[in-house]
Amino acid sequence: MDQDTDAKTSADTSARPGGTWVAWALVVAATAVFWPVTRWIVAETVARAQIRQGLIILLGAAGLVAWQHRGELRVVGDLCNRTLGLLTGAFALVGAAGVTKWSWLVLPGFALALAGCLQALFGAAGYRFFRPLVAGFAALLVIIVAFPLLDWPLRQLAGVGAAWVLNAAEIAPRLTLTGTPADPQLIPTVAGQNFLVATECNGFGLITSAGLVAILAGGIAGRRWWVVTALVPVALATGFVANVARILVISLSAPYFPGRYDEMHEVVGTLALWAGLGLVGWLAWRPAGAAALSYGSRSTG
DSSP 266-279: HHHHHHHHHHHHHH
3-class SS at 188? strand
Count of all residues that appear for the chain in the document: 301
pLDDT for res 7: 42
pTM: predicted TM-score of the whole model, two decimal places: 0.84
The set of residues, in sequence order, having a beta carbon less than 8 Å from that of 281 and lying 6+ positions away, is 213, 217
What are the structural domain ranges in the chain? 3-289
| Identity of the amino acid at 65 | V
Q: What is the pLDDT of residue 293?
A: 41
Instruction: Give the range among 33-47, 118-132, 214-228, 254-268 with minimum mean pLDDT.
Output: 254-268
pLDDT value at 138 more than 60? yes
Q: Which is more confidently placed, 224 or 173? A: 224
159-169 average pLDDT score: 84
Q: Evaluate if residue 300 carries a pLDDT over 60.
A: no
H or E element, residue 281 = helix 261-300
| pLDDT for 226 | 93
| 3-class SS of residue 222 | coil
How much of the chain, in percent, has pLDDT values that exceed 90?
57
Over 90: is that where the pLDDT of 254 sits?
no
pLDDT at 24: 94
What's the average model confidence in pLDDT over 81-100? 95
Which DSSP letter does residue 15 get? S
Nearest residue to 94 via CA among 31, 50, 157: 31
Mean pLDDT of the chain: 86
Q: What is the pLDDT of residues 64-82, one digit of tens each?
A: 999 999 999 999 989 999 9
Of residues 168 and 36, which shows the higher confidence score?
A: 36
Which of 7-16, 48-57, 99-108, 256-265 has the lowest average pLDDT?
Answer: 7-16
Mean pLDDT (whole number) for 142-165: 89
- pLDDT top residue among 15 and 57: 57
CA–CA separation, 286 and 46 (whole Å): 32
| % of the chain surpassing 70 pLDDT | 88
- How far separated are the first and last CA of the chain, in Å rounded? 36
Q: Each residue of 97-133: pLDDT tens digit? A: 999 999 999 999 999 999 999 999 999 999 999 999 9
